[in-house]
Amino acid sequence: MTLSKQYTISKESELKGRGLFTSEPVHVRFRPAPANSGVAFVRTDQGTPARIPVRPENITKRLRRTSLRNGTIAVETVEHCLAAVSGLGIDNIEVEVCGPELPGCDGSCLPYVESLQQAGLQEQEVPRQVFKITEAMTVRQGDAMLAALPSEEPELNILYDLNYSQRAIGRQVYAISLTPELFVKEIAPSRTFLLQAEADQLRRSGYGRHLTYKDILVLGPDGPIENELRFEDEEVRHKILDLVGDLALLGRRIQGRIVCYRSGHALNQELVKKLALRIKAMELDRKLVARPALDIRQIQRILPHRYPFLLVDKVIEMDGDRRAVGIKNVSINEPFFQGHFPSQPIMPGVLIIEALAQLAGLMFSQTLEHTGKLAVLLSMDKVKIRRPVVPGDQLILETYKVRVKQRTGHVRGIARVGEAIAAEAVIKFMLVDSDGE
């Protein structure tokens, strides 16, 4: 296997089972995907297939699992599938699923690995995207900790320190230099585990109705109930399995060392989001000196806004009508600073949201059917102003399409200063002819 090249699968393969939490029967089909397309789940039970790309911005909060959402459509418990895909070194694949949750199978990712191995791997003549950790990054939650550290080794290195007060688990420490071969042998067979009290609580809440003690690793005071361990330290190995799956949410390979202490899905996802912000900052630095996707003259040909209400200086990235990144350089010469506030100038939050709305209008204009349309504000939801924007700041604007129809548009917008979020909102528009007809 050439580590520098991207991989997909050679042919389709399938997997069937029941959702770990929902108990719903589900059929999964793995399909090859082109280079640079990444990993995506496709819900095929929605009439029109709904595609959910594996990206940090699509993570949605769930208890005890990892889930992704694109608009109103979600796919649940993706971590074992993603662990198998990432652990085998697959970069591009479509995972079709005919239900809301991936199969739990035996609680490990080994069934996924075996299905993907049957499909075989296909090298693609495109370089693999790798994020090399160059500075330490740490996330904490209570006494749990996760650190990403630099390393010159080509493989991802993981050290996990699991420390349970429950006697059947106790303290377990495991380290691995992650290669596909070691992942399949040492990590993939390890299963989800629950303490007996946790299993009873989940069952009372209506989860996992189809499961018995033989189907999932439940630990009582003296060890597994009606089951046997596959490894003496299976619990810590499964924690690494979950971590590998969650790190795949980043959308690229990681070169570095990950040190973990008592961490779980929530902390794993927090680290992924922090890594994603670092990648965005590095990419932004490159794009700021490159030729913009739209300069101010092109923006003025699309938007009717003029001084003092044109709030996008340039667009540095435009992915059709799906995503856009723009820049607003905030100067002390902005007219609103004369009254907001003379002694402590702060950019009004409503104008930050207006800048996001203007960027959304530029994004909509990239689709032929919306050329010449004016995006008129209909509503704003989930508006949050998180930090002040002051003279000298560079406002990084990002808009993501949620849904666009012939006459309406629905986007999610985020404004940042550096890596810090300044404002965010969900914005809906009416798309009208710019000549007023």
How far the first Cα of the chain sits from its last, in Å, is: 59
Q: Catalytic: 27?
A: no
Structure-block tokens of residue 233: 């330290």
d(CA 135, CA 57): 23
Whole-angstrom distance, CA of residue 160 vs CA of residue 234: 12
302: how many CB neighbours lie within 10 A of its CB? 20
Amino acid found at 266: A
Q: Which of 85, 111, 377, 132 is nearest to 244 (CA)?
A: 85
Catalytic residue among 80, 210, 238, 265: 265
- For this structure, is 265 an active site residue? yes
Quote helix, strand, coil % in the chain, to nearest 5. 25, 35, 40
* Given 27, 210, 305, 340, the catalytic residue: 340
| 325, containing H or E segment | strand 323-329
> Going by C-beta distance under 8 Å and a sequence separation of 6 or more, which residues neighbour residue 283?
none
Using only C-alpha atoms, what is the Rg of the chain? 24
Residue 239: name the closest of 179, 192, 198 by CA. 192
Tokens of 394: 């560079």
Q: Which amino acid is at 430?
A: M
Residue type for position 368: L
**CA distances, 287 to each of 222, 320, 396 (Å):** 58, 17, 12
CB-neighbour burial class of residue 20 (10 A; exposed 0-12, middle 13-18, buried 19+): buried
Tokens of 179: 């290669």
Q: Name the amino acid, one letter, at 227.
A: N
Judged by DSSP in three states, 309 sits in coil
Active site members: 265, 340
